[in-house]
Amino acid sequence: MALSLEEISDRLAIQDLLVDYCHAIDSQSWDALDDVFTPDAFIDYSAFGGSSGTLAETKEFLAKVMPSFASFQHMVATSKVTIDGDTAAGRTICHNPMVMENGDVFWCGLWYIDTFVRTPAGWRIQRRVEEKSYMTSPPSS
């Protein structure tokens, strides 16, 4: 099935949005998330014990929790995106190593279950729910 130029453009814009999210989180640029999510977005990180709520609540949670890690990377891949006009549904793998202050590393594997909407400013995530696949425990000291 051949894709139209609009469908190709939409898919690339959504792919860029997923990358923008990772860069915002990994650079701790919380206000950059305003260009990733809709103002009324619902974001649920509870699968890993995190927050669940609005964009403002999520930014507050991230600003409090993420600096406690020495480093981390969010790597996304194999997105399955279904576009229906001005909305889209997506399921994207995320592999996330987290380095603790003492150097121990644990790994989170998850899927982002997303609802995207086309806005006047471009595609945005309106709903994100993390679905846990695995999490390793950090090595004992």
Domain encompassing residue 21: 5-133
Nearest to 130 by CA among 26, 66, 40, 48: 48
Q: What is the pTM of this model?
A: 0.94
Q: Which residues contact 93 (CB under 8 A, 6 or more apart)?
A: 76, 77, 78, 79, 109, 110, 111, 133
Q: Does the residue 14 lie in any domain?
A: yes
User: Domains in the chain: how many in total?
Assistant: 1
Handedness of CA 134, 109, 46, 28 (dihedral sign): positive
Task: State the CATH number of the domain containing residue 129.
Answer: 3.10.450.50
pLDDT tens across 1-49, in order?
A: 788 999 999 999 999 999 999 999 999 999 999 999 999 999 999 999 9
pLDDT tens across 62-120, in order?
A: 999 999 999 999 999 999 999 999 999 999 999 999 999 999 999 999 999 999 999 99
